């Protein structure tokens, strides 16, 4: 059966408000004829109010790059779920590799954020991935299972229809990253889905698992045709609307020619 596909980008800390708005409008215009896919863009906090107003959320979901687990309090520098709600944000990304490895976030903290995001009605996008050392020690699966089991601890099965997972191996992300091979990515996605099934039973089948980490026009096709890869979560290769549109179309064409 054909799967529902997801394509999105994390804009990290690059585009200011004007650049974000024009990128979103351009991307919406270019991709709105593409049926049956879910598109999402995750811009910087300061752009979110204008970004959220700039697009039809049926076409492009808008996400935040992080969120505090508390509604309010003595949390200087943090952004509350209530503040994001006010802006009409659809989804919240939690535990991106750069949050974990540059800013030291831990699984237990990601768990509090996941629970808060779901309880406030957002889609929660939990990012997981092993480091190069963990891969070399042969413990990738154990690390992913740990990140899932702690990160999703206490998630109610009925909330899993608003849960997405992104597998982004730390060694594959960014300018110094090496893209994962399609075979390796598929192997990890299979393990992730196995763990999700242990946690949530049949409901796990509806949780999309996206691949991210140096996705580019050279590997998008072989990644998207993998059985357990439900979408592509793209950084650099998506930050120009025309290039992202072309990448999405290329991936969909490859998928359509392989799908029964």
Which of 30, 112, 149, 236 forms a contact with ligand 13P (CB under 6 A)? 236
Query: Residue 235 interacts with ligand 13P (CB under 6 A)?
Result: yes
The residue range among 79-87, 185-193, 227-235, 246-254 that interacts with ligand 13P, by the rule CB under 6 A, is 227-235
Q: How far apart are CA 43 and CA 65, in angstroms?
A: 7
110 is catalytic: no
Is 188 in contact with 169 (CB distance < 8 Å)? yes
SS (H, E, C) 168-210: CCHHHCCCCCCCCCHHHHHHHHHHHHHHHHHHHHHHHHHCCEE
96 given a catalytic annotation: yes
Least Cα distance to 171 among 196, 137, 126 occurs for 137
Q: Which one of the listed residues 110, 168, 191, 221 is annotated catalytic?
A: 168
Of 222, 232, 228, 227, nearest to 254 by C-alpha is: 222
Rounded-to-integer distance, Cα 6 and Cα 248, Å: 10
- 119 vs 131 by CB, closer to ligand 13P: 131
DSSP state, 163? Answer: E
Q: How far is the CB of 89 from ligand 13P (least distance, A)?
A: 17
Contact code string over 153-182 relative to ligand 13P, x by CB under 6 A: ---------------x----xx--x-----
Map the footprint of ligand 13P across residues 96-115, applying CB under 6 A. Answer: 96
Distance CA 97, CA 83 (A): 24
Shortest distance (Å) from residue 8 CB to ligand 13P: 8
Query: How many C-beta neighbours within 10 Å does residue 249 have?
Result: 14
Choices 13-21, 77-85, 194-202, 211-219 (CB under 6 A): range interacting with ligand 13P = 211-219
The reply to whether 234 sits near ligand 13P by the rule CB under 6 A is: yes
Which secondary structure element, helix H or strand E, spans residue 42, and what is its range? Answer: strand 37-42
Shortest spacing between CB 48 and ligand 13P, in angstroms: 17
Give residues in contact with ligand 13P (CB under 6 A): 10, 96, 168, 173-174, 177, 212-215, 233-237
């Amino acid at each position: 059966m054909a799967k529902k596909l997801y394509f999105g980008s994390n804009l990290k800390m690059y585009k200011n408000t004007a650049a974000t708005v024009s990128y979103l409008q351009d991307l919406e215009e270019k991709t709105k004829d593409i049926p049956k896919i879910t598109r999402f863009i995750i811009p910087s906090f300061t752009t979110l109010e204008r970004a959220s107003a700039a697009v039809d959320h049926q076409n492009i979901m808008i996400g935040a790059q992080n969120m505090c687990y508390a509604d309010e309090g003595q949390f200087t520098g943090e952004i509350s779920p209530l503040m994001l709600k006010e802006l009409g944000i659809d989804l919240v990304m939690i535990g991106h590799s750069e949050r974990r490895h540059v800013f030291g976030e831990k699984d237990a903290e990601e768990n509090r954020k996941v629970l808060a995001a779901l309880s406030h009605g957002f889609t929660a996008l939990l990012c997981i991935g092993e480091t190069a050392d963990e891969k070399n020690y042969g413990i990738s699966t154990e690390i992913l299972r740990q990140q899932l089991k702690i990160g999703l601890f206490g998630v109610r099965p009925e909330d899993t229809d608003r849960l997405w997972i992104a597998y982004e191996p730390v060694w594959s992300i960014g300018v110094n990253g090496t893209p994962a091979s399609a075979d390796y990515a598929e192997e990890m996605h299979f393990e992730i889905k196995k763990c999700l099934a242990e946690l949530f039973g049949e409901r796990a089948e509806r949780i999309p698992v996206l691949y991210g980490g140096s996705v580019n026009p050279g590997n998008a096709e072989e990644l998207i045709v993998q059985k357990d890869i439900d979408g592509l979560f793209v950084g650099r290769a998506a930050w120009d609307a025309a290039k992202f549109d072309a990448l999405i179309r290329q991936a969909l064409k490859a998928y359509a020619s392989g799908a029964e």
